[in-house]
Amino acid sequence: MNTVVLYQSRYGSTKQYAEWIAEELGADIYPADSFPAEKFAWYDTVIFGAPVFGGAVLGIAGIENNLAVLQNKRLIIFTVGLTSPEAEERLSNLAAKNFSAALQKHATFFHLRGALEYQKLSFGHKILLRMIRSSMPNKLDLNQNHVSREAVLPLVAAAGGDFPE
């Protein structure tokens, strides 16, 4: 079984999850932006992880644009954000808004909880976060960290199972 883990990450939490997943599976790992599309041919399973900013999944176009070549592979997408993995309605809205019908049909999705460290945010993200925060009924905590190694285990189990016929 050849597996590759590709990731996008601005502040490190998605990268951390990608590293743990690759370690558990003995998979190759690349930042998505430096992975040449020709290399998809080498793998049976492709795992793509990306953070959510303002309701948008970072860099998902890189997967959407290669769906034809990914069609005969197992495809697992994980998003990372502050949204709780239990908030099912929000997560299905996130999928509906960000993923094409073809991607929703072919891929298996997971959502893992991320982290926030206000001082480390870019200027643009500080402003965006303050806008989002001011529209929330319960004020968002500007410093929080939910990143945990155990959270990757269901994804690892899904990736390590038998290849679907």
Ligand X SMILES: Cc1cc2nc3c(=O)[nH]c(=O)nc-3n(C[C@H](O)[C@H](O)[C@H](O)COP(=O)(O)O)c2cc1C
* Residues engaged in binding ligand X (CB under 6 A): 9-15, 51-55, 80-83, 114-116, 121, 125, 128-129, 132
**Residue among 38 and 150 whose Cβ is closer to ligand X:** 150
- Residue closer to ligand X (CB basis): 106 or 125: 125
- Give me the least distance between CB of 54 and ligand X, in Å please: 5
The string over 126-138, giving b where at least 16 C-beta atoms fall within 10 Å of a residue's C-beta and e elsewhere, is eeebeeeeeeeee
Residue 98 near residue 50, CB atoms below 8 Å: no
Min. distance of Cβ 1 from ligand X in angstroms? 26
CB 163 → ligand X: shortest distance, Å? 29
Strand 74-81 relative to strand 45-53, pairing: parallel
Of 15 and 73, the one with the shorter C-beta distance to ligand X is 15
Q: How far is the C-alpha of 10 from the C-alpha of 75, rounded, in Å?
A: 23
Q: How far is the CB of 124 from ligand X (least distance, A)?
A: 8
Measured from the CB atom, the residue of 45 and 114 that comes closer to ligand X is: 114
